[in-house]
Structure 1
Amino acid sequence: MQILAQILFLVALVAGIAFFVRNVRRLIRNIKLGKKIDRTDHPKERFNKMARIALGQSKMVRKPVAGFLHVIVYVGFVIINIEVLEIIIDGLFGTHRILSFMGGFYDALIASFEVLAFLVLVGVIVFWTRRNINKIKRFWSREMKGWPKNDANYILYFEMVLMALFLTMNAADYQLQLNGAAHYAQEAGITGSFPISQFLLPLIDGFSNATLVIIERAAWWLHILGILFFLNYLYYSKHLHILLAFPNVYYSKLQPKGELDNLEAVTNEVKLMMDPDADPFAAPAEDEGDEPEKFGASDVMDLNQVQLLNSYTCTECGRCTAECPANQTGKKLSPRKIMMDTRDRLEEVGENINKNGKFEDDGKMLLDDYIQREELWACTTCNACVEACPVGIDPLSIIVDMRRYLVMEQSAAPNELAIAMTNIENNGAPWPYNQMDRLNWAKEN
């Protein structure tokens, strides 16, 4: 029976890791559909930023209550899962609490895990209450319907169940130790080893050792299988940011937020226009392709790889949308929706590739089919969304690239902007007066 259990554990472990690796490979492939961008400069500054924001949660704590609870859940969940290492060893070799030989240190470790598990459980319950009972506005926007809404709750339920299983496993284990049960008595520790689960003992008082073993083993199996399931669920969930927040912050923009990058395609066109030796009618070189480079972006393949990484990293917390002045005044724009739409379109493209071996034109684009023009032109480019994001996401860069496409590829700017650009071209200023009158204002002073 023990050998069968070890074989089943090995199968579950290998299957879980293999599926996770498959999903990671698809994730990387999808991100690489974007244009390459060099964000390897200033590595020391990037590491410091990653340590401060991704690891140190510096932006999360700007909202003290939610920030503190998030730190507790984040740190607790990560540290508690250190015990997964022991569970894996026990599962593979048929041992039980193999690290208990460390004595007092092991007791202290388990005790700290239990305290953290309890704090995580409390934090998750508070988060669920804030989302579903208090109904905080940013969690109930128009884009937070269906799967996004359910996904957030599924994650909270997962974490509740995993923490409850951990404490139940320890409670049954501790009672078996107190009963002197075979295979459990040798790991007997002091009461301080189980500071939380000891309060669950009255619930299982009077149970036979055989029943307690079933409870302990069931909680043990469900706990590790739940972790493997959670690991693979991440790919389909907004909680992918648990893994991607670190690279996302590392590769985030270091320049001042108000500084827009030059569009390389436009720069190349200007250089060509300014070159007196260039032949504008010459056929393109073979390595340049048959079509000129597109100005701006209309689909996910036109975005760069960091922007696509941003879309997968989005936590859907809504802080960006809550800070957006356009959204606050009732405009259609929601920076969170921009990121969610980008990810949804990228996933659609990825599924297209999975099905056909390569991307087959599906007649859709990110522009119009997912993100509407009204949303793009509502943006004031104030960078409030970028500043608010706790994991370094830049929705504005996607908005700007798509507006560039509309202006330079489709000449589809709003009338007010078209008039201003025409005035700049003709008069050197956005106002409709003669160039000779541009300095009249100075004469009046």
Structure 2
Amino acid sequence: MMTYLPNLLFLVALVLGIGYFTRNIRKLIRNIKLGRPTEPGGSRAARWGQMARIALGQQKMVVRPIAGILHVIVYVGFVIINIEVLEIIIDGLFGTHRVFAFLGPVYDVLIGSFEILALLVIVAVVLFWLRRNALKLARFWKPEMKGWPKKDADWILYIELVLMCLFLTMNAADYSLQEMGAAHYTQAGAFPVSGWIAQFMSGMSESTLILVERGAWWLHILGILFFLNYLYYSKHLHILLAFPNTYWGKLQPKGEMTNLESVKREVALMMDPSADPFAAPAADAPPPETFGARDVEDLSRIQLLNAYTCTECGRCTSECPANQTGKKLSPRKIMMDVRDRLEAKGRELDGKPAQGEEKVLLDGYISREELWACTTCNACTEACPVSIDPMSIILEMRRYLVMEQSAASQELNVMMGNIENNGAPWPFNQMDRLNWQNEM
């Protein structure tokens, strides 16, 4: 029985880790389904192409070369290195060691590639940390990045660094044990990085090396399971959600504004000479929809998916002309606020009501000043590396203010009054429109 104890413990850890992750993903899907169902346009082929270019190919990341290349290193490193996780899982369940060693030279190339990538990931993570904490790039130090968002960004880097170091330590001890001819340690793999690290283990006994190798092995796989479950609480959830988010992302021109079907029906009714505009609706007619968005339930499911996918990289805010000129608006904060409100709704569904007065998205999380500061230039959407559209949320909340509360900003009311009275947004009588020619 004692022989199989490590395998049983590994099975328990695996089931608990994947089970808790599955539970959180189901909660995430439930929360997203609080939004309105939508049918985005475009063909499936175009959507798959967009996902391949942006999520898989990192097309929009490399627009900023330094950050883009570093991110690609970390991205490729984690994707490829985690192929070895499959081998670790099989070894952990069945008590084998380097079960894929039968691949021979192919296995040597794989392990050697994994090690070089692990080293590059360590270098990239250190540079990312320095950019955030030593160089203090402005977009990482905006007001919305205080507290947990700042800590979360640093914790992610620490976890990635530790996982890569454990991976190389495990291989270094394994390599030393292979050189000793220790039982159960199959001669397999190429170790260009950990082979050098193994020099510092030259004085260790076989039993000590086994302890180091097994300790690093267990900490590495438990760290991966911890990281998997940490994702739900972290901005790094985009590792998983970037793929569906880019698949469902807008295909039509990014600045194109959507028309409300309810408004289009009203206009069609007004233009139909045979229709009775004063006729009462049918008895079984559904209740009229709310115009725009006051809370997260009024947003679309794609917009809620956007909120969960936000990487908090701040590219949107750094490109926002309103933010650059000192306005209160930050597109990144808009997405973070939507996600925070959605999480609060999720806690209510879990039977954990909010303490004190419940706040809705409008005024409780996002102020009217932020909404009216937006120039609808679409720079935020163009800058986002994972197809998030903050402007669409801002427009929906503005619609609610204008069409449900008649609470447009003073400037907009003046403009609409001019259009009504003068047929143009300017405060000039139609007869005076061409007076400017007299000055030419």
Fold shared by both chains (TM-score > 0.5): yes
- Displacement after TM superposition at 1:272 (Å): 4.0
2:239 maps to what in 1?
242
Task: Show the counterpart of 2:280.
Answer: 282
Q: Deviations over 1:244-286 (max 9, x none)?
A: 1111111111111221110223223333444553353625533
Higher mean C-alpha displacement, 116-125 vs 264-273: 264-273
Is this contact kept in 2: 1:296–1:402, CA < 8 A? yes
- Taking the TM superposition and a 5 Å limit, the aligned residue runs for 1:94-109 are 94-109=95-110
Distance in structure 1 (CA, Å) of the matches to 2:352 and 2:156: 32
Q: Select which of 282, 304, 316 maps to 2:300.
A: 304
CA distance in 2, matches of 1:43, 1:4: 48
Task: Specify every segment of 5 or more residues in structure 2 that has no aligned partner in the other structure, as ranges.
Answer: none
1:335 aligns with one of 283, 306, 331: 331
Deviation at 1:52, TM superposition (A): 1.1
Q: Does 1:324 align with 2:320?
A: yes
Task: Tell me the amino acid that sits aligned with residue 387 of structure 1.
Answer: E
CA distance in 2, matches of 1:407, 1:368: 15
- Quick one: distance in 1 between partners of 2:275 and 2:98? 77
Instruction: Tell whether the 8 Å contact from 1:40 to 1:251 is kept in structure 2 after alignment.
Output: no
Amino acid at match of 2:396: D
Q: Which amino acid aligns with 1:21?
A: T
AA partner of residue 232 (structure 2): Y
- Per the alignment, residue 188 of structure 1 pairs with 187
Gap regions ≥5 residues in structure 1? none
3-state SS, counterpart of residue 111 of structure 1: helix
| CA distance in 2: counterparts of 1:391 and 1:356, whole angstroms | 32
Deviates more, 1:271-280 or 1:404-413: 271-280
Residue in 2 aligned with 1:148?
149
In structure 1, how many angstroms separate the alpha carbons of the residues matched to 2:158 and 2:92? 25
Partner residue in 1 for 2:380: 385
Q: For 1:439 and 1:109, locate their aligned partners in 2 and report how far apart those are by CA, in whole Å.
A: 74
Using the alignment, how far apart are the partners of 1:249 and 1:309 within structure 2? 10
8 Å contact kept, 1:265–1:294:
no
**1:201 Cα shift?**
1.5
Q: What amino acid does structure 1 have at the position aligned with 2:313?
A: C
Distance in structure 2 (CA, Å) of the matches to 1:209 and 1:442: 94
Which amino acid in 2 is paired with 1:399?
I
User: Structure 1, residues 223-264: CA drift from partner, whole Å, max 9, x if none?
Assistant: 111111111111111001111111111111111122111022
Q: Deviations over 1:315-343 (max 9, x none)?
A: 00000000111111111010000000010
Aligned to 1:82: 83
Give the aligned residue type for 1:72. I
The separation in 2 between residues aligned to 1:265 and 1:198, in whole angstroms, is 67
Matched, 1:218 2:218: no
Instruction: Report the more deviating stretch, 32-41 or 385-394.
Output: 32-41
For residue 294 of structure 2, what is the amino acid of its counterpart? S
1-side partners of 2:193 and 2:295: how far apart? 52
CA distance in 1, matches of 2:117, 2:281: 67
Match of 1:367 among 342, 347, 362: 362
Which residue does 2:120 correspond to in 1? 119
Q: How many residues align?
A: 438
Mapped to 2, the partners of 1:355 and 1:219 lie a distance apart of 40
Q: Aligned partner of 2:318: which letter? A: A
Aligned to 1:230: 227
Between 160-169 and 30-39, the greater mean CA deviation after superposition: 30-39
Query: Helix, strand or coil for the counterpart of 1:355?
Result: coil
1:419 counterpart letter in structure 2: V
Contact 2:235 2:310 in 1 (8 A): yes
Residue deviations 1:6-55 (CA, integer Å, cap 9, x gap):
11111111111111111111111111111111125322222212111111
C-alpha separation in 1, matches of 2:4 and 2:285: 60
For 1:42 and 1:194, how far apart are their aligned partners in 2?
A: 46
**C-alpha spacing 1:40/1:440, structure 2 compared with 1 (3 Å):** closer
Check if 1:400 corresponds to 2:390. no
Structure 1 residue 417: Cα displacement: 1.1
User: Which residue does the alignment assign to 1:413?
Assistant: 408
Per the alignment, residue 350 of structure 1 pairs with: 346
SS in 1 for 2:249: coil
Counterparts of 2:276 and 2:7, CA distance in 1: 72
Q: For residues 257-272 of structure 1, what are the structure 2 equivalents within 5 Å? A: 257-272=254-269
Q: Secondary structure at the match of 1:288?
A: coil
- CA deviation after TM superposition for structure 1 residue 189, in Å: 3.5
Q: Given that residues 297 and 404 in structure 1 are in contact (C-alpha distance below 8 angstroms), is that contact kept between their aligned partners in structure 2?
A: yes
User: Are the aligned partners of 2:41 and 2:251 in contact in 1 as well (CA < 8 Å)?
Assistant: no
Equivalent-residue separation in structure 2 for 1:273 and 1:362 (angstroms): 43
State the distance in 2 between where 1:259 and 1:414 align. Answer: 22
Offset of residue 389 of structure 1: 0.5
Change (3 A) 1:24 1:287: farther
Distance apart, 1:411 and its partner CA: 1.3
2:107–2:188: 8 Å Cα contact kept in structure 1?
Answer: no
Aligned-pair identity (%): 68
Listed one character per residue, the Cα deviations across residues 292-349 of structure 1 (whole Å, up to 9, x for unaligned) are: 2111111111111111110011000000000111111111010000000010001111
Of stretches 363-372 and 32-41 in structure 1, the one that deviates more from structure 2 is 32-41
Deviations 1:58-79 (A, max 9, x none): 1111111111010000001110
Partner of 1:434: 429
Alignment partner of 1:200 out of 186, 197, 201 = 197
In the TM superposition, residue 427 of structure 1 has moved relative to its aligned partner by 1.9
